[in-house]
Chains A and B, each alone.
Chain A
């Protein structure tokens, strides 16, 4: 047993590894304001304001003392705290995003960690220098992060796991080796990432096994090692990632050799929007340019030590919660490599340019005669502005409406096996500690006086109204 004939593949076990990259360096991180849609009610029975350090010396004490509907309002200052939130339906807000600083000193783990607690809004502050994450919701519904700056944190900038009905907006995630923004393990997530900037990270956005009413819109992903990378794998629950809507984002120059990186960021490096084993995603009207490898690509995640096989299409609508305790196949019944193919993705109306290998790409690795080939992936491409694709003439081969032209899917296709060995060298583990300082970030309007309604969940965005962004002038 355990004879693994294709171990060469699994070694890379991840994403497209194309040519290594040039340096991209960023500067300002100002998010351009646009309307964010929040369905809100005014606070319930609480509604009083608790000040820090006025009423309580620490944020933790104030949060613990707060009641439903309260606003914890934090004055300017540096707070060396790791705050655990277990009080539901409250708002935690800084008076000035750039001057209310939570500082982990590279010792503390999370700036603000919301644990199995619903309705927690965190606004208008900065979390930096945490060993794990800047802002973190786990097992919590109705989460809302707004006007947040997270930088130089050791895992993720702003992170939601096993969390539903959330919104992250007007925020910056910078300088983390994993993702600046991450939403993972949820279906249907019912979550919106709107008007954020993610830069200098290993991955701009990552989400493993997440999707369903998950919108990533109107945001900027730049100067990361890789831009937007929804992905799948049975090492965590709720596989596969599926049904994400990625529209109207500006994704450029994600080739950053100086950014911190976990291993998969090295493999994903140099790609703008990389659909790595995630399925049935909508990728429309994004502006994507200047990537060493691909602009928008659908590629497989070959999982070598998989716990399970790819579930059948009939199970894709099953809520995450109902699949968590599913029985797993015996070890011998799981193939040596489980190929999480990126299938059923719709790539329409994007403006893609300046890609080193291909502006648009779709590919897989056929392990044997029974494996899916690129022609079987059912990814479709239409109405994009682009100059190169792999395979050649991708829009002719796989249009989103009507039949393909019957051409050869193998012509000028992505040779993933050859590319997999060519990845950037791993940076030192502490690279995240010296990533660029973000510039001054936009404050939320009237932070000291604005009401603090209990967050009830995101409003479904009007995706149809979103246009392809124009190129920023810098």
Chain B
């Protein structure tokens, strides 16, 4: 545990601290109250997080269809490791969380700070991306499903003027989706699909080896310009509507969509998440990008409106590793056995 270190830091900042889950989340700090200064990796300064606010809409307007409709950069990150830790929701408390699968920063654990992550290695192809991405572990018939990889798409949300997009502040925490949901979540923040399709489903559809199951999460693209986190981990950010950010969250940041690929295809699965049933799908992002590298990609790709990277199903590997393809008859039989997806999901 890092309690000692955290106390010292807090004391230095002259802030009374109560060691609770909420105050633990306080420990992620930035140095400034504006988007500009917050993008600098400032000193480790304690700062109150935003109190929980009223419920905000959780329905992003997002890009669908073939890739490349707008300026973007894409980061591909291999699966790194798993653990029952969560540096956003349960900072400093090892083992307090449900099990997560981590991508990006190779060291993500309960004590992760953006500063520490930025100094370490990453599983992402862009080496300036030391951010952490994670989602609750997927189980199939109570067995852990090790994910294959994650792709992170960074774009201006539909309708947003790309020139208005500013970099995420260093240390910004985002959560897409509702981990407490037990019934289908409203909106498109989270959903399941096959391969590179962009239609989302509440229940995992039956996929195929060349277009396996993906969990797609779309994060908030409007920031309040002040807080890196909030008590409910949501109130400091919001989704844009019709290209506009609400006045309470006036700062446009890139719309991050992550797509996580699982080696799940054909029928016969019994899927659930470490956070609950399949409807509890959610994911987290803790920004530790190298600020100069992030600005370079936003300026060069999003603001100039060009496609700097694509991630298509052309990258799939080892899809035959699990054995020969099923015959048509076998595939149909598997579908029969699969039955209603909604039934299975509970």
Q: A residues bordering B, Cβ < 8 Å?
A: 1-8, 10-14, 84, 86, 107-109, 113, 115-116, 131-132, 138-140, 154, 161-162, 178, 185, 233-237, 239, 262-264, 304-308, 324-325, 328, 331, 421, 423, 426
Answer whether A237 and B314 are a contact pair too, CB < 8 Å, given A10-B211, A86-B300, A131-B126.
no
A161 lies within 8 A of B300 (CB): no
Answer whether A115 and B300 are a contact pair too, CB < 8 Å, given A2-B194, A308-B66.
yes
Which of B68, B266, B300, B314 is A262 in contact with, Cβ under 8 Å?
A: B314
C-alpha spacing A7/B212, complex, angstroms = 11
C-alpha spacing A281/B69, complex, angstroms = 26
B315 lies within 8 A of A262 (CB): yes
B206 lies within 8 A of A4 (CB): yes
Is B313 an interface residue when CB atoms closer than 8 A count as contact?
yes
Is B164 an interface residue when CB atoms closer than 8 A count as contact?
no
Number of residues in B with C-beta < 8 Å to the partner?
A: 51
B308 lies within 8 A of A138 (CB): yes
Which of B65, B68, B126, B328 is A162 in contact with, Cβ under 8 Å?
A: B68
Is B161 an interface residue when CB atoms closer than 8 A count as contact?
no
Which of B126, B296, B332 is A5 in contact with, Cβ under 8 Å?
A: B332
* Least CB separation from A108: chain B residue: B127
Shortest CB distance B168–A (Å) = 19
A11 lies within 8 A of B320 (CB): yes
Answer whether A305 and B313 are a contact pair too, CB < 8 Å, given A8-B325, A132-B125.
yes
C-alpha spacing A140/B316, complex, angstroms = 29
Is B305 an interface residue when CB atoms closer than 8 A count as contact?
yes
Is B56 an interface residue when CB atoms closer than 8 A count as contact?
no
C-alpha spacing A12/B312, complex, angstroms = 15
| Neighbouring A residues of B325 by C-beta, 8 Å | 7-8, 11-12, 421
| Neighbouring A residues of B266 by C-beta, 8 Å | 7
* Least CB separation from A140: chain B residue: B306
B312 lies within 8 A of A236 (CB): yes
A-B contact number at CB 8 A: 146
Is B317 an interface residue when CB atoms closer than 8 A count as contact?
yes
B127 lies within 8 A of A1 (CB): no
| Neighbouring A residues of B296 by C-beta, 8 Å | 84
Shortest CB distance A467–B (Å) = 35
Which of B194, B205, B211, B308 is A115 in contact with, Cβ under 8 Å?
A: B308
B305 lies within 8 A of A331 (CB): no
Per-position contact with A for B309-332: 1 when CB-CB < 8 Å, else 0? 110111111111000111110011
C-alpha spacing A11/B313, complex, angstroms = 11
A235 lies within 8 A of B194 (CB): no
C-alpha spacing A264/B319, complex, angstroms = 12
Shortest CB distance B212–A (Å) = 9
| Neighbouring A residues of B324 by C-beta, 8 Å | 421
Is B142 an interface residue when CB atoms closer than 8 A count as contact?
no
Which of A185, A236, A307 is B198 in contact with, Cβ under 8 Å?
A: A307
Answer whether A139 and B66 are a contact pair too, CB < 8 Å, given A1-B205, A12-B210, A13-B210.
no
C-alpha spacing A235/B194, complex, angstroms = 12
| Neighbouring B residues of A7 by C-beta, 8 Å | 208-209, 265-266, 325-326, 331
C-alpha spacing A234/B314, complex, angstroms = 12
Is B195 an interface residue when CB atoms closer than 8 A count as contact?
yes
| Neighbouring A residues of B318 by C-beta, 8 Å | 426
A304 lies within 8 A of B305 (CB): no
Shortest CB distance B270–A (Å) = 17
For window 175-233 of B, CB contacts with A under 8 Å fall at: 194-199, 205-211
20 contacts between A and B (CB under 8 A): A5-B328, A5-B332, A6-B328, A7-B209, A10-B209, A13-B313, A14-B210, A84-B296, A138-B307, A138-B308, A139-B305, A139-B307, A161-B307, A236-B310, A304-B194, A324-B68, A324-B69, A328-B64, A421-B320, A421-B325
Is B301 an interface residue when CB atoms closer than 8 A count as contact?
yes
B196 lies within 8 A of A235 (CB): yes
Apart from A5-B332, A7-B326, A331-B199, what are 14 other A-B pairs with CB-CB below 8 Å? A7-B331, A8-B325, A8-B327, A11-B209, A11-B210, A84-B300, A108-B127, A185-B68, A235-B312, A236-B312, A305-B211, A307-B196, A308-B65, A325-B69
